[in-house]
Structure 1
Amino acid sequence: MGITDAERVLQIVGDLDRLLIEVRDPALDEAGIGREQWQILRMLADGEGHAMGEVSDMFGLPGATATRLVDSLAQRMLVYRRHDELDRRRVLIYLAEPGRTMLDHVQSSMLGRADALLAGIDPGERAELVRLLGRAVSTSDQPAHQE
């Protein structure tokens, strides 16, 4: 009995996870931030300001963990808090300029490593890879079909 498509996909995703770690972790280590902190900085890069509950929900973190992570970013002046102008009881978190600079540097470092990994792949195949991975992610974000 041969390997199924689903089994092969799981193997490939495992290998991609290893590659992602090789691309991501050196840049994060150099910046002195963890994966969750990087994800928070990326979320805040839209400039809209986000409540702590949004941070918790987006990354599936307990509220106390999200608060601890944001506190550590605020201590390094990478993010700041401001009361919501429409609801003064609500506090929003924003990306500070040093946080944007750090995020840009981390992203640039990751892109350099990712480009090196993709160097042997034809540009047309790269485009197809991006399309298929994007489709897989968007499909996984949809609720399972029930009959």
Structure 2
Amino acid sequence: MSDPTPLDLHSTQNSLPMALIRARERLMGPIRDMLSHIGLTEQQWRILRVLEEFGPMDVTQLADKACLLLPSLSRILRGMEEKRLIERSADEADRRRQIVEIADAGRGLLQDNVVQARVIAEQVKQQLGTEKTRQLLALLGEVERMKP
């Protein structure tokens, strides 16, 4: 038998987690369209961008910076290595650690699509406005730094 007392939850329209998900989906639509044309997933695109920006790194750092769980990352990296988008090697100081770096093919994919990615980002910035974009990034940074 169900409890007749309604749960004391905010409506989904006033739920911060739901609002963040809806906003993410809105922003990712054009990016997903771009990625589907080049045969990459969102996760693969993030990995390439992180490696291009920060250089070679170990798998744990990459998972953190690309916002991926380690088990998922391991599977994704296998496919990316097969496509020659990334290269993996053992860390010389600690052979148990794997170092991942972007390969020429991965860098080429980024270079071939940087203009379109920038256009998408600029469209969002134009619709939201420069100041609101800056404020939103600052607020999201605060949320990211909150203690769990």
After TM superposition, the score normalised by the length of structure 2 is: 0.73
State the structure with bigger RCO (CA 8 A, min sep 6), 1 or 2: 1
Superposed, 1:1-147 pairs within 5 Å as: 7=14, 13=20, 16-58=23-65, 59-63=67-71, 65-119=72-126, 126-144=129-147
Q: Post-superposition shift, 1:127?
A: 2.3
User: SS state of the match for residue 106, structure 2?
Assistant: helix
* TM-score, length basis structure 1: 0.73
Structure 2: gaps (5+ residues): 1-12
CA deviation string 1:103-146 (max 9, x = no partner): 2333422222333455466xxxx22122201211210122249x
SS at match of 1:46: helix
Structure 1 residues 139 and 94: CA distance shift in structure 2, 3 A: same
Q: Is residue 28–residue 106 contact of structure 1 (8 Å, CA) maintained in 2?
A: no
Alpha-carbon RMSD across the aligned residues, in angstroms, is: 3.0
**Distance in 1 separating the partners of 2:110 and 2:14:** 35
Q: Which amino acid aligns with 1:28?
A: L
Q: CA deviation at 1:35?
A: 1.1
- How many Å separate the matches in 2 of 1:98 and 1:105? 10
AA aligned to 1:136 is L
Distance in 2 (alpha carbons) for counterparts of 1:115 and 1:25: 16
Secondary structure of residue in 2 paired with 1:80: strand
